[in-house]
A and B are shown apart, each in its own frame.
Chain A
Amino acid sequence: TPSSGEVQLTEEAVRRYLTRKPMTTKDLLKKFQTKRTGLSSDATVNVLAQILKRLNPERKVIGDKMHFSLKE
């Protein structure tokens, strides 16, 4: 059985990761894997999209890939 609730997909958690270092969408999705949050793939994508729109992080291209980044 998946251990849901082990990791929570919240605005605060996303903010903390992006403040620490720039991340791609894939990096973020890796932090909030469905098997760790208990969310469905669709819910993960929707919630993460809403959080990113709200946080409005800086966009940086690093090594050809778009990264999101937040200042403290």
Chain B
Amino acid sequence: SSSEADEMAAALEAELNDFM
């Protein structure tokens, strides 16, 4: 089960995808 924190981390990582 993914918490809100997990979802936000996933969204942030997606946003930073080319950067990370």
Contact = CB atoms under 8 A, between A and B. Distances in A.
A53 interface: yes
* Interface range, A side: 10 to 19
A41 interface: yes
Contact of B9 (A29, A46, A53, A59): A29
Query: Which applies to chain B's interface (DSSP): helix, strand, loop or mixed?
Result: helix
How many residues of B sit at the interface, in one of the four size bands? 10 to 19
Secondary structure at the A interface, as helix, strand, loop or mixed, is helix
Interface of B: 4-9, 11-13, 15-16, 19-20
Interface of A: 24-26, 29-30, 41, 44-46, 48-49, 52-53, 59, 66
